[in-house]
Chain A
Amino acid sequence: AQSVTQLGSHVSVSEGALVLLRCNYSSSVPPYLFWYVQYPNQGLQLLLKYTTGATLVKGINGFEAEFKKSETSFHLTKPSAHMSDAAEYFCAAASGTALIFGKGTTLSVSS
C-alpha cells in the first residue's frame, strides 16, 4: 500500500533562512505527488504538484520541490523563509482513487 512519510513534525527556521521539509513515499510505481499548505484556521491550499516530466517543480510563494525516484523523495524547499510561511505543510501522493497524506510538518519562522 502507498504511504507517505514526512520527517519532522515541527521545523523551525529564522527569517531569511533556507526551508527544507522532507517527504518520502513508498510505491513500486512513482505516484503523482503534491505539497499542500494549511494556514491557521483555513483549508488546504495546493503549493505544487509533480505529475510527469521535469523533476524540479516550482510552486507558489517561492517554493519548489524535486522528485527523486532513486530516493523515493519529494522534498520541499524555499531559499529564504518569510514570516508568512509559518503554517502546516502536507505532502500527499495520489494512489488510485484517493490522496494519501503524510502527517504534516509545522513550520515556524522566527524573526
Chain B
Amino acid sequence: DADVTQTPRNRITKTGKRIMLECSQTKGHDRMYWYRQDPGLGLRLIYYSFDVKDINKGEISDGYSVSRQAQAKFSLSLESAIPNQTALYFCATSPKGARAPYNEQFFGPGTRLTVL
C-alpha cells in the first residue's frame, strides 16, 4: 500500500467551481506539503504544515487554501478555480526534528487537475 495517497488522481472542472484535493499518509510524519508542477517550472510550494495547528503559506498560495484535519490528512482547496490553476499537484510529507534535519520529503502520486 502506498504511504502517501492523493485523491482524486485526475479531475476536470470548470472555471469558478470549488474543488478539494485530498492527501492522506500512513508514514506517521508530522510535516505535510502541497506543491504544484508546471512544465518547465519544476515544483513550487503552495502551503505547508508542520503540525495540525501550524499552517504556512508557500511561494504561490494565492487562490488556494488548506486544511489539516488530522496528522495524517492535509487537503488543498481551490475556492474558485481558474484555468491557470491547471497543473499537476503533489502532496509530500516529512518527519520533523532530529529524525530528519535535512528535510527529505516523500511524495504522493499526484493529482492532475484541468480547469476549463
A27 proximal to B (CB < 8 A): no
8 Å CB contact of B43 from A46, A49, A101: A101
Q: When the two chains form their complex, are residues A94 and B103 in contact, meaning their CB atoms are under 8 A apart?
A: yes
Q: When the two chains form their complex, are residues B90 and A43 in contact, meaning their CB atoms are under 8 A apart?
A: yes
Known contacts A43-B90, A104-B42; decide if A34 and B104 are in contact (CB<8 Å).
Answer: yes
B65 proximal to A (CB < 8 A): no
Q: In the assembled complex, which residues on chain B have CB atoms less than 8 Å from the CB atom of A32? A: 102-103
In chain A between 1 and 58, which residues have their CB closer than 8 angstroms to a CB of chain B? 9, 32, 34, 36, 42-46, 49, 51
B110 proximal to A (CB < 8 A): yes
Please give the distance in Å from B50's CB to the nearest CB on chain A.
Answer: 8
A60 proximal to B (CB < 8 A): no
A49-B101 Cα distance, complex, nearest whole Å: 13
Q: When the two chains form their complex, are residues A94 and B42 in contact, meaning their CB atoms are under 8 A apart?
A: no
Q: When the two chains form their complex, are residues B45 and A98 in contact, meaning their CB atoms are under 8 A apart?
A: yes
Q: When the two chains form their complex, are residues A43 and B102 in contact, meaning their CB atoms are under 8 A apart?
A: no
Q: In the assembled complex, which residues on chain B have CB atoms less than 8 Å from the CB atom of A9? A: 40
A86-B10 Cα distance, complex, nearest whole Å: 23
A70-B56 Cα distance, complex, nearest whole Å: 34
B48 proximal to A (CB < 8 A): yes
Q: When the two chains form their complex, are residues B103 and A99 in contact, meaning their CB atoms are under 8 A apart?
A: yes
Q: When the two chains form their complex, are residues B107 and A94 in contact, meaning their CB atoms are under 8 A apart?
A: no
A75 proximal to B (CB < 8 A): no
In chain A between 76 and 111, which residues have their CB closer than 8 angstroms to a CB of chain B? 90, 94, 97-99, 101-104
Known contacts A42-B109, A43-B108, A97-B56; decide if A103 and B40 are in contact (CB<8 Å).
Answer: yes
Sort A-B residue pairs by CB-CB distance and give the 5 closest, nearest first: A32-B102, A43-B107, A103-B42, A94-B103, A44-B107
